[in-house]
Structure 1
Amino acid sequence: MGNHLTEMAPSTPFLPHFQALHVVVIGLDSAGKTSLLYRLKFKEFVQSVPTKGFNTEKIRVPLGGSRGTTFQVWDVGGQEKLRPLWRSYTRRTDGLVFVVDAAEAERLEEAKVELHRISRASDNQGVPVLVLANKQDQPGALSAGEVEKRLAVRELAAATLTHVQGCSAVDGAGLQPGLERLYEMILKRKKAARGSKKRR
């Protein structure tokens, strides 16, 4: 598995060719974070138990060039007592993936509070946020647009690039376009950071 990094071609001028993108997956308990991680890793639905701490996987995704991009993904437990630990995982991350259960509308207010808290933390200012409105395969699941409204995603800091994507860990629908948008947002941010350094 460690060989993946040496094989990677420099698919863009903004990323050193040996560097995996560091992405943290967070969200309330039972949103489907671990199932999404394993859907990406193994291309199948894996029924998982609640995460007590964290899981981490290196995932190769076909984007940005024919050879694909490697994401080092950290999936952190979402129980209330674990949420204060999120910040230690999100420090210096390239992107945040915030997963919500779109079929459980009554918890979206709680999710909104946590999303705004973590994206406003000083270490996370401007870090791109991909919101995955999971469980689109379930009857009554809210659309990505509705989830975007309920979470007040547009009210996150102006410097924060965001995208809300409907998806399903069961059949994998929506995951590829979501990751493509996250990748684009990460590159855009890195490019802007390089530009501002040059101007100094």
Structure 2
Amino acid sequence: VGLCLFKKEMRILMVGLDAAGKTTILYKLKLGEIVTTIPTIGFNVETVEHKNINFTVWDVGGQDKIRPLWRHYFQNTQGLIFVVDSNDRERCTEAREELHRMLSENELQDAVILVFANKQVSHTQYLFKKNI
């Protein structure tokens, strides 16, 4: 009596520059483990369940030639995960420009935005690598 027997559905779009780690994150969420991936040409889509929510996560390739295709995934997107390789200092400006371009899109105005700083190296790891 009064139990909620249905799951809420949410559409999530995960984008970012190539090699940021989007597909690795997707399969870590789905399978709970790190898997070997190859560059995504096109997209991967998986349903990830958490509590009473079914997240349909669209992981779209980030190579510069296919970024214009991102907008074809905007419709009905409720959440946007923008993945950044936090070690890739050279492309920080490029990542920021792509994120700002997306934030100006009308179809994403109601989406919840998460900027995911991936591949962070702890201070201890940094010192260890620096001293090797």
TM score, norm. by length of structure 2:
0.85
1:110 maps to which of 77, 91, 94: 94
Q: Which of structure 1's runs of 4+ aligned residues deviate more than 6 A?
A: none
Structure 2 residue runs without a partner (length 5+):
127-132
CA distance in 2, matches of 1:99, 1:120: 18
* SS at structure 2 position matched to 1:56: strand
Taking only the aligned residue pairs, the percentage that are identical comes to 46
2:76 maps to which of 77, 92, 102: 92
Opposite residue 38 of structure 2, the aligned amino acid is V
Q: Residue 8 of structure 2 contacts residue 52 of structure 2 at CA under 8 Å; is this kept in 1?
A: no
2:39 is equivalent to residue 22 of structure 1:
no
Q: CA deviation at 1:18?
A: 4.3
Relative to its length, the structure with more strand (as a share) is 2
Q: CA deviation at 1:10?
A: 3.7
Structure 1 residue runs without a partner (length 5+):
1-8, 12-16, 62-66, 141-200
Relative to its length, the structure with more helix (as a share) is 1
CA distance in 1, matches of 2:20, 2:120: 12
TM score, norm. by length of structure 1:
0.57
RCO higher in structure (CA 8 A, sep ≥6): 2
RMSD, aligned α-carbons: 1.8
* SS at structure 1 position matched to 2:62: coil
Q: CA deviation at 1:137?
A: 4.0
Q: CA deviation at 1:135?
A: 0.6
How many residues align? The count is: 122
Opposite residue 25 of structure 2, the aligned amino acid is L
Corresponding residue of 1:193: none
Corresponding residue of 1:49: 38
